[in-house]
Amino acid sequence: MKTIFDRNIREELIDRINQLNKTSKPDWGKMDVSQMLKHNTYWNAWVLGKGSHTYQQTFLGKIFGKIALRKMIKDEKPFDKNIPTSNQFRIKDTVSDLESEKSEWISLIKEYDDYYNPNFVHDFFGKMTKKEIGILVYKHTDHHLRQFGIY
């Protein structure tokens, strides 16, 4: 199973991120490339514990979260298109400096080499093991790169 905690996988993802540019168009979804980049920098900072984040599982997550997590990370199958995201991760504004946002995302990807965030609780899936986090982060990143045709 691919995980963000594997250096070779991180390097592959970084190579794919570097392929994004201002003309990149989504194959699905509502975000443009700048919004997708900002979504991912914010989301990864949340997972890594950078900045001020509140970690609390939603009520529905407490009921269905573990079942959904197991289904999403049980195999190599990419995430489905158009899966919903929490309000806190919806980006409405566009980013003017795409290269800076890409650099920020890449910097955050590199930080998984020394991952430690014992306070992390996914807002839907709840408390997760490091293994689950590694697979989820890889699949989330892969999902958004595929969204923009970067395989």
User: 28-60: buried (b, 16+ CB within 10 Å) or exposed (e) per residue?
Assistant: ebebbbbbbbbbbbbbbbbbbeeeebeeebeee
Q: What is the pLDDT of residue 88?
A: 87
Two tokens at 98? 């795409």
The three-state secondary structure class of 126 is: strand
Give me the tens of pLDDT residue by residue for the chain, a chain 151 residues long.
999 999 999 999 999 999 999 999 999 999 999 999 999 999 999 999 998 888 999 999 999 999 999 999 999 999 999 998 988 899 988 888 999 999 999 999 999 999 999 999 999 999 999 999 999 999 999 999 999 999 9
Claim: this prediction has a pTM higher than 0.75? yes
Run of H or E residues at 132: helix 130-147
Give the contacts of 133 (CB within 8 A, at least 6 positions apart): 4, 47, 115, 120
* Domain extent listing, the chain: 7-147
- Look at residues 40, 34, 38, 35 and name the one whose alpha carbon lies nearest to residue 21: 34
Residue 67 to residue 37: CA distance in whole angstroms: 28
Say which CATH topology domain 7-147 has. Answer: Four Helix Bundle (Hemerythrin (Met), subunit A) (1.20.120)
